[in-house]
Amino acid sequence: MKNFLLPLLTMAILTITGCQQKQTATEPENPFFSEYTTPFQVPPFDKIDTSHYLPAFIEGIRQQAEEIAAITGNPETPDFENTILAYDKSGKLLTRVSNVFYNLNGAHTNDQMQEIARKISPLMSKHQDDISMNPELFSRIKAVYEKRHESGLDDQQIRVVEKYYRDFERQGANLPAGQQETLRKINEELAMLQVKFGENQLAEINKNFKLVIDKQEDLAGLPEGVIAAAAETAKSTGDEGKWVFTLAKPSLIPFLQYADNRSLREKLYRGYFMRGNNDNASDNKQIVKDIVRLRAEKARLLGFDNFAAYVIDENMAKTTDNVDKFLSNLFSSALPVAKNDLAEMQKIANKEGNSFKLESWDWWYYAEKLRKQKYDLDETQIKPYLKLENVRDGMFEVANKLYGITFTKLTNLPVYQKDVETFEVKEADGSHLGILYLDYFPRAEKSGGAWCTGFQSAGWENGKKVDPIVSIVCNFTPPSGNAPALLSWDETTTLFHEFGHALHGLFTEGKYTRTAGNVARDFVELPSQIMENWAGEPEVLRMYARHYETGEIIPDALIEKLTNSSHFNQGFTTVEYIAASILDLDYHKLKSPAMVEDVNAFEKEAMDRIGLIPEILPRYRTTYFSHIFDGGYAAGYYVYLWAAVLDSDAFDYFRQSGDIFNKELAAAFRKHCLAENGNDEGMEQYRKFRGQDPSQEPLLKKRGLK
């Protein structure tokens, strides 16, 4: 039995740990080295120490290397069981530690974890390459692939075989040895660059900038709740008696919306859009240049014109041309709407006696004034009805009405941070479905944004169902003073959005790791975005929107204002999003050698080419575009809008039925688009639910672009 992985791996392990791996692997106190004994086998966060991660990673890599060696050394003829299934189920320990470490490194990191990430990144890159470029393993997979239609395999087994064969091709299995070595170096360098990009981004948000206000008059225009929150932040930053605003969205956006002091709005917004672009230790410009260059070279090695073509080849869109046309058509519809809103906002500014031309840091402020003028509505009227716990219970009730599932709060599960909540999710018949973690508020140890992850994926092991353990992580407005956490409307829809991802994870079914819940990137936002549609339905608002002090249900008059204003600012929202999507594609459509001399100049040229107005910046500028430079959405940021076509069309189907809680449609959506969505290509699964191709019309109408 030939095993070329283990000697190289052992050398790497000894280099990193400076000790014998055997001693590390048998540490009895390391909770990763045995099955969890916690309720529902959730991770034992109360027992996991930072020191446990690296030994567990190293042992997990060693174990999977042995499992691969057992597959390649098997003297029997390659078949589905001894090759494909054996590989599909390999790496259990590595998956267990990865699920905890990477999730917590985003949600609750520290200096030690970041150091571990830097150490483990090249080792994990090498391990993955050692597998994907293992000629003996690929030879066995290829043998099964070539006989897949004559081996008595069922449709799902054939799909798994085809997916793995395609994966190995795309990861360099067919390249000559010299080019494989080049690809290995590229992958290792990319892995390290992406880790560094994320570290810089975290530092720029949480360490490198804060707006300190010490004059009461500079708070003019801000709601009392926002001022109170800023005072609380000041206490935590050592600025007691002052008010501190940060680049975290719950602090940033209200200030931009309401602060009358224009120069301070500019200062805060400039701090936001200059992240990673300050020529300091956290600058990301050179990292971006290197990532773009290496990705273009990787695509060339693998036979693609550019990295975007390499990525999109696996997506529903299939080609960069299809994505370009899609974005261009919607941009041409949205830009005039945004320009019209800008003209109306400029009139408001002029009427107030101002002679300045509106800039990007003025948009939120005057958009609020325009919303008040057109719809007699502002955010402060809505927030008292959006107590976090009520919104949470409302989305649980929506899921119950659609799918019959229930959520029971648990207090006996270990958590990684004191504010994290846990819930048991049960089917309508009372049987256990999974566990849901909810982590709501910003902190210095947490990355910005909101996301859904999993500590354990649904699946099967030794003929037994493995139940999912799902986690939602957010950065919402925290409680302040005597007031509970009151969400903005954007935060409310964000919670529903991430909950949609959670339902996808909870409902996933399938015997095979490769296909269970594993869908094209431009399909994956359908489960999340469709849930946002329910959040603003009058029937649903009456379920959860209750005044936090009086318990009063949100008045019909306010619901009507919210409904009437649903098209408001959609031009801006769509334009800034498409601009970022095009910027992403422009970087990744560069052919090798992709030498970007100046990322700021590159970005400006890209935005000038599409006619982006200066009052709107792309949603993410280059140097803090985490989605594409360290978040897995490279050449794929467009997918949110692609999926928006699907979610708008799907929700329109519910509307047309006359019942937004139509259980028959909900069952079909759960089956084809959530539970079994890895069984076939994305569009095929969507057609099984919808009975036809999606139409763009519902999206255009929903956004007021038609």
* Residues with active-site annotation: 498
338 neighbors 705 (Cβ within 8 angstroms): no
Alpha-carbon gap, residue 36 to 30, rounded angstroms? 11
Q: Is 523 exposed, middle or buried (0-12, 13-18, 19+ CB in 10 A)?
A: buried
Signed CA dihedral, 418, 468, 516, 523: sign only: negative
Closest CA to 377 of 531, 567, 217, 571: 567
Beta bridge partners of 435: 424, 469
Alpha-carbon gap, residue 382 to 488, rounded angstroms? 8
33 neighbors 96 (Cβ within 8 angstroms): no
E strands within 113-221? 211-213
Alpha-carbon gap, residue 68 to 90, rounded angstroms? 8
Beta bridge partners of 433: none
- What DSSP line would sit under 44-101, residue for residue? -TTT--GGGHHHHHHHHHHHHHHHHHHHHT--SPP-IIIIIIHHHT--HHHHHHHHHH
Helices 111-132 and 177-206 pack at an angle, to 10 degrees, of 160
Alpha-carbon gap, residue 31 to 54, rounded angstroms? 12
208 neighbors 246 (Cβ within 8 angstroms): no
3-state helix, strand, coil in the chain (%, to 5): 60, 5, 35
Pairing of β 421-426 and β 464-466: unpaired
CA angle 10, 14, 16 (to 5 degrees): 120
Beta bridge partners of 451: 473
Joined tokens for residue 10: 């052992």
Closest CA to 647 of 563, 541, 523: 523
Instruction: Please report, for residues 25, 210, 212, 240, the alpha-carbon distance to residue 244 in angstroms, rounded to integers and kept in the order given.
Output: 46, 7, 5, 9
Q: If you ran DSSP here, which 8-state letter would residue 452 be given?
A: E
Residue with tokens 């390391």: 30
441 neighbors 248 (Cβ within 8 angstroms): no
Q: If you ran DSSP here, which 8-state letter would residue 589 be given?
A: T
- What DSSP line would sit under 321-387, residue for residue? HHHHHHHHHHHHHHHHHHHHHHHHHHHHHHHTT--SPP-GGGHHHHHHHHHHHHHS--HHHHGGGBB
Helix-then-strand count for the chain, H and E: 29, 9
List Cβ neighbours of 253 (8 Å cut-off, separation of 6 or more): 364, 488, 490
User: Diameter of the chain by CA atoms?
Assistant: 85
Alpha-carbon gap, residue 581 to 327, rounded angstroms? 8
H or E element in which residue 647 lies: helix 639-657
Residue type, 389: E
